[in-house]
A = this chain, B = another copy of it.
Amino acid sequence: MFILPRIQEFIIAGVMVESPCVIGVDLGGTNVRLGLVHAGRIMARAEQAVRVERSPAAMVDFLARVITPWRSTTPAPQAIGIGAPGIVDPQRGVILKSPHYPEWVGFDMQAQLDAATGLPVILENDANAIALGEATDGAGQGFANFIMLTLGTGIGGGLILNRDLFRGDVGFAAEVGHMVLDYAGPACPCGGHGCWELYASASAFPQLIDQSDHPLRRQFLDHFHGESGRVTPADVYRLATDGDLFANALWKTFGRFLGTGIASLTNVFGVDHFVIGGGMATAWDFFVPEAHRALARHTYPETAARIQLHRARLGDDAGILGAAALVARRLQ
C-alpha cells in the first residue's frame, strides 16, 4: 500500500484526533465536488462542472488549487479520500477506466494528487465510498451488514459486510445492477442480458413506458411529443405528484422490479437491511410499497417480514461524505 506509511506517521507522531479532519472528493459525471469534512460535517466546500477538467492533469490541478488553501485551516486536513466512477484499483490508487472520462485509462490519481498537495490520498469506487458514508454518518449506522443501492442511470451498489466494505477479488464487487432478472431478457450495454438495471433505474423508464398496456399511456406520452425516450424520472415524479395515474403506475412497476432484485439479494446474502439512495429515492413513497409486495412474492414469508428498506440520509453530499468516511476510517 502506497499510503499506509504516511498514515502510520500521523499515528506515531500523535497528530491523530478522535475524529480527524479530512477532504472528501466526489468525482461525478457532471460536477466535481469536494469538501473539508470534520466529524461527519462539511466545513467548507467547492464545486466545478467537469467539462473543462476532463484530462487527468487538469483535474489534479483543479483539486490542488482548492485543497492547498484548506491545508491551513484548523484542524488541518490529514488526508484526501476520493470516490471515482468506474473501475478503480484501490490498492494502487489508480483509475483503470471510467465511463465519464474516456481519457482516464490507468490514471494514477493517488500518486499525482499526493505529489501536488503533500497529503496522503485514498481512492475508491464512488458507489463503495457512498456505502461507507451511509455506514459511518447516514442510514446504515449501527448495521453490521447492509447493501447500499444508488438508483441513478444504473443501479450502483455497495456491500457493507461485517461492518466493512466488501470489495470482492478485484475491487469490482457490487455491480448489482447487472444481476440477471430475466435470463431471456434484452441486451444490456454491459454485454449481458436481462440485467436488473434495465428494469429499475433511470434508463429503464422508456422501456417501462413502451411495454405498458395501460389505457392512459398515450395521454401521458402527449406531454413528451409521443416520445418515451424524452421522459426522465424527474418528469415521472412530477406527474405522479400531480396525480397522473399512468405516472403513478410507472412508479409501481419500477418498485416491483426494484423489489424483485432486492429479494434476490436477500436470498443470496441473508442481509436484512438495504439503504437506498440516488436521485430516484425522491419518489420513495410512490415505489416502496410495491417493492415490499415484490419482496413478499420472491422470498420466504419469514424473510420478507425481516427486510427493511431505509432511505439514504446523506443526499447530494453522499459522495463527499463517503469519500471522507473512507479516509477517516483509516485514520482512526
Contact = CB atoms under 8 A, between A and B. Distances in A.
Contact of A168 (B172, B192, B261, B270): B270
A298 B175 CA distance: 12
B271 A180 contact: no
A175 B267 contact: yes
A171 B302 CA distance: 13
Contacts of A261: 180
A268 B173 contact: yes
Interface residues of A, number: 52
B145 A168 contact: yes
B298 A167 contact: no
B306 A175 contact: no
Interface in A149-165: 157, 159, 161-162
A183 B260 contact: yes
Contacts of A183: 181-182, 199, 257, 260, 298
14 contacts: A144-B169, A157-B268, A161-B161, A170-B272, A175-B267, A176-B267, A179-B268, A180-B263, A181-B183, A182-B182, A183-B199, A190-B299, A191-B301, A192-B297
